[in-house]
Structure 1
């Protein structure tokens, strides 16, 4: 099934995401949820490619789609990619400053959301959930550092909020 049907399924997702993003954003959001749910068990090359990722990044600028597009990209980067693939995705796009600028904003948003979650959980006394949020946060630090030292100021500037929030956690 994975070899025969999944590529067709991924192509269908791509077509749905492109065709309905303006006319039916609710369908597009549902499709983004499905992509995020399936990304962990399909061949990542079907989704983690320029064509698919650029479509997802363009949807981040559409107000009705940006949250689901961000979640979907988060799933691609977080669940579905091993560290080597993650690095390759970032490095393969280093020529595309626009991509990395959007990607760094995505990582910044994910990091700041995790910091906020950790803060609320820690203040609420939920030690176990706070520890899980902190572990999830710490897995983003290598990516944070890789983007922070990028030569392009736009890319490194986009990640400063996450960096600042993370440093505040370390101080605590």
Structure 2
């Protein structure tokens, strides 16, 4: 393990969390704290009429945060009615399923998407950038959401581009964002 790299610690912690080995998760987090290493928080940026807005998990710093959360709640209710089931294995905390659902609903890319939907014209693609990888739950949720909104959704994470349109992942790859942003 690279002692300076938060990513190595985060990866092993996430592996332990996914396996339900909470004592090992605590041990790794203690080791990080003792070494002065801090995990990079997930952050997402979205382009809107007002410029670029950034979001962290659970962010309520934006003036329209009440509207953002209300829209996100309505979207999640609608996609659950369509068959979406939150993938709680991506909420890497030792909490009950209800709290895991709550944690997943506050991911930065979901907040950025709701803000983008509130602040851009219908039909205009939503372009979101994330500093970490998009979790499987957000990927699944965006697939469903793309069916009920009149927007393409383009997410650039630390590894690739994801393009969602009408409940399909249209493409995943390096060239997509450039092609989509030209039009």
Shorter-chain TM-score tier: under 0.3
Higher strand share: 2
Q: Which has the higher helix share?
A: 1
TM-score when normalising by structure 2? 0.27
Tell me the TM-score normalized by structure 1: 0.28
